[in-house]
Amino acid sequence: MPKRRLKKPAKLPDCGERLRKALTDEIEECFQAVTKALKKCDLPPAEVVAWCKEMIASDRVGFIYDAELRTLQKHFEALRS
C-alpha cells in the first residue's frame, strides 16, 4: 500500500500585528485620559515628572505614547524651575 502524503496545513494569518495595534491604541487612550487629568491636577510638578519618567522607562516596546509623555515631562520640568 503506498504511503499517503499529508497536505501541508494552510498558513494561518498572523494576527499578532493587528492585536498589538489594537492593544497599543487602547493603552494610548488610557494614557490620554491620565495625561489630560495630570495637566489639570494640583500634584507637585516633581511627582508628575517622576511618573512620566517611570512610564517611559516601563515601556518595553519603546513607542507607546512616548512623544506625548516626553512633552508632558518637559512641561512639568519647566514648571519646577
Model confidence pLDDT, tens digit, residues 24-33 = 888 889 999 9
pTM of the predicted structure, to 2 decimals: 0.70
- 27, part of any domain: no
CB 48 within 8 A of CB 76: yes
Confidence (pLDDT) at 52: 94
Domain count, the chain: 1
Q: Does residue 76 form part of some domain?
A: yes
The reply to whether 24 falls in a domain is no
Residue 75 in this model has a pLDDT that exceeds 70:
yes
Can you give the residue range of the structural domain that contains 72?
Answer: 42-81
Q: Are 37 and 74 in contact (CB under 8 A)?
A: no
- 45, burial (CB in 10 Å: exposed 0-12, middle 13-18, buried 19+): middle
Task: Classify burial at 48, counting beta carbons within 10 Å of its beta carbon; exposed 0-12, middle 13-18, buried 19 or more.
Answer: buried
Residues 3-54: tens digit of each pLDDT: 666 666 566 556 677 777 887 888 889 999 999 999 999 999 999 999 999 9
